Structure 1
Amino acid sequence: MFLPQPLQLVAALALFTFSSLPAFACSRLLWNGPDNQVIVGRTMDWAYPFEDNLYIMPRGDTVTGGTKTNPLSWTVKYGSVTSSFSGWLSKQGPFTIDDGAADGINEKGFAAHFLFLSGSQYEKRNPAKPAVSTLRWVRYLLDNFATVEEALAGMDQIQIVPSHIGSNPMDFHVAIEDKSGDSAIIEFVDGQRVIHHGRNFTVMTNDPPYDVQIQELKQYKPFGGQKGLPGNIGSNERFARLEYFSRYLPQTKDPEKAVAQVFSVMRTVASPVGAPYQDGATYPTWWFSISDLKNGVYYYDWVENSNTIKVNLNFIDFSEGSGIRWLNPRLPDISGLVNDHFKPITASAQ
């Protein structure tokens, strides 16, 4: 079950007022432009790099939800390209290549992204209901759904269960979009699933939950408050800048220009390597992704690689049996279209 957004505001304010700062300091922006352009940008910010790889996931593979009790099992319906830190996870515990997809787009023009939301409180576990772990949440969505509406209906049939690294829960909220421009943000607050659904839900960062973010946005001048537009890298500040700058993007029909413009807004919320966060630690932006949902192109920019790369899903063989393929996006000698640089998966690359 889920509760409508307004009923969650008071509880969310009380729950998250004193919560600690998140360690994932990521940001996401959806831009719906003319000529049915749908562009989504996100950053991945963390204290250290996860050495993420890009993966081509074909149709037909069998995947499970990765939970201890009653994990969901499914056969991949749609091929996808994902950014995943499964390799890093495999060194932390019993994780596999099915874990750790943080971002991606499938062949139907549907995209999903998880961002950290500390203090998430999930539904009480009903062991009779199939479950998916948070580290397989994005994978589940990309494998099974072509639209936001389909994904939300599918979520009604399962439960999301937090993954753990040691005793630390991997707490996330998820943003999804499709090529029609539809969007949804899914959070777990006070034991309830909270859904914000519609084309107007274009920005997501980290703490606090979305309802509280919208209330805090009102303190800034562009949104009716007294404070100037903030320049810090905290979650609220990044949320405000994305909301503000995205409103002024030129209405271009050129997909390359549209992608470049969304990149330009995402760079306003990037954290430089070495820059201190509010708690004194550093959470630099390690990579950007841009998903062009109309044209089926996935762009990727690694901070220590001066070359932006892109994957065109229209020219990928996603057929059953074609195999999982991978690419190291940190290689300094790759740029532009990199479809031909993907290699068959091996144990060392997982």
Structure 2
Amino acid sequence: MCTSLTYMAEKGAFFLARTMDFGIELGGSPVVVPRNQHFNSDATAEGYDTTYSFVGAGRDVGNYILVDGVNEKGLSAAALYFRGEATYAKTPMTGKTNLAPHEVVNWLLGNMASCAELGQQLTELNVLAIPIALLQVTTPLHWIIADVSGACYVLELDQTGCHYIANPVGVMANSPDFQWHLKNLSNYLQVQPTPHPHRTYGQFVAADFGPGSGALGLPGDFTSPSRFVRLTYMRQYAETAKTPEAAVNVLSHLLNTVDIPRGVKIKEDGSSDYTQYRGYMRMDQPTYYMQPYYDQTISRVILTENLMNQPAPIAFPLEKEQEFKSVNQSVNQHG
């Protein structure tokens, strides 16, 4: 369960950011995938190739699999859970790119330069119901995609087909489908950052209890619909940062509003969904920022020419709980 949003700073720095909320320890870290790589696929023996370099959060599970990131052209993407909705093909199709759901982020970041190009190429994509070895299940996913122009889209595969939808609010969460979330915003038209006017009932005048009363009714629980509404509201009214550095700080505060501490959201099997990390993807100067649960320090990996032309993917592990080492130290050595 995750939440994601886009954000533009005053000087044109455009970001896609997300929380990674999950009960199973994913063990992800920043990973740079260089140009011109071949990946083995869980879908077919042929595998797939990538052209562009990209950086994001991932893990080596035989191949490096990324769940979010940004590429050298300024295209960014994040995979979010889509339980009960995602529907995939059952068999490979000749002449198409056949992928498992967990391979889609790699493929699109490695081969697409913009949201428009992805829209043109979707007819060539066939996503199969193939499990990922790490979880032993087929991951039900949908994707938020944004590019340096400010465009933002949602990609969903359900029982009615493939839907590539312009995202006018720049926010995405989990199930239900994206169009349902947009319609649900109509239930919160009364929520505003300023106070409501006094109301007269008979001879009595009711006044608000102070600043912030305009947001009464804003949902505060951890369900996907509530997180979607809450983050859409926060994104709409939060200040516009003047610099890219300030934008990362604002994004951190925005994602604080949907952050899930361990122990407050227990699933039926007894496990606890929690925000394992937050990822911030800058598109105008491709950079990946990661903020892990066990250390709120925000570290970054800049997609430099040196990193983009390495022979193989490079991971920058983040240590949990003990003696955190900044990724910037590794970047200075490799970048």
Q: After TM superposition, give the deviation of residue 278 of structure 1 in Å.
A: 7.1
Instruction: Return the alpha-carbon distance in structure 1 between the equivalents of residues 169 and 161 of structure 2.
Output: 19
SS at structure 2 position matched to 1:252: coil
TM-score (norm 2): 0.83
- Aligned 8 A contact 1:115 1:174 in 2: yes
Amino acid at match of 1:174: W
Amino acid at match of 2:57: S
Amino acid at match of 1:209: D
Q: Which runs of 5+ in 2 are unaligned?
A: 193-214
Moved over 6 A (4+): none
Residue 244 in structure 1 maps to residue 233 in structure 2: yes
Amino acid at match of 1:155: L
SS at structure 1 position matched to 2:124: coil
Q: Which runs of 5+ in 1 are unaligned?
A: 1-24, 91-95, 344-350
Percent identity of equivalent pairs: 22
Amino acid at match of 1:173: H
| CA pair 126-32 structure 1, distance change in 2 beyond 3 A | same
Instruction: Return the alpha-carbon distance in structure 2 between the equivalents of residues 298 and 174 of structure 1.
Output: 18
Q: After TM superposition, give the deviation of residue 185 of structure 1 in Å.
A: 0.5
Residue 112 in structure 1 maps to residue 77 in structure 2: yes
Amino acid at match of 2:289: Y
Instruction: Return the alpha-carbon distance in structure 1 between the equivalents of residues 267 and 176 of structure 2.
Output: 15
1:82 to 56, 62, 67: 56
Give the equivalent residue in structure 2 for 1:322: 311
2:66 to 101, 107, 119: 101
2:12 to 26, 31, 36: 36
Instruction: Return the alpha-carbon distance in structure 1 between the equivalents of residues 55 and 33 of structure 2.
Output: 6
Give the equivalent residue in structure 2 for 1:73: 48
Instruction: Return the alpha-carbon distance in structure 2 between the equivalents of residues 265 and 190 of structure 1.
Output: 33
Amino acid at match of 1:49: E
Q: How many residues align?
A: 305
Give the equivalent residue in structure 2 for 1:189: 158
Instruction: Return the alpha-carbon distance in structure 2 between the equivalents of residues 143 and 300 of structure 1.
Output: 20
1:112-159, CA deviations, whole angstroms, 9 ceiling, x for partnerless residues? 110010121135646223311111100001111111111222222121
Q: After TM superposition, give the deviation of residue 160 of structure 1 in Å.
A: 1.3
| CA pair 58-188 structure 1, distance change in 2 beyond 3 A | same
SS at structure 1 position matched to 2:148: coil
Give the equivalent residue in structure 2 for 1:46: 22
Give the equivalent residue in structure 2 for 1:340: 331
User: Max radius of gyration: which structure?
Assistant: 2
| CA pair 56-342 structure 1, distance change in 2 beyond 3 A | farther
- Aligned 8 A contact 2:241 2:250 in 1: no
1:121 to 87, 104, 118: 87
- Aligned 8 A contact 1:103 1:113 in 2: yes
Give the equivalent residue in structure 2 for 1:19: none
Give the equivalent residue in structure 1 for 2:137: 168
TM-score (norm 1): 0.79
Instruction: Return the alpha-carbon distance in structure 2 between the equivalents of residues 313 and 165 of structure 1.
Output: 27
1:191-219, CA deviations, whole angstroms, 9 ceiling, x for partnerless residues? 40011125x24111101110111222322
The answer to which of 157-166 and 145-154 deviates more is: 157-166
Residue 254 in structure 1 maps to residue 254 in structure 2: no
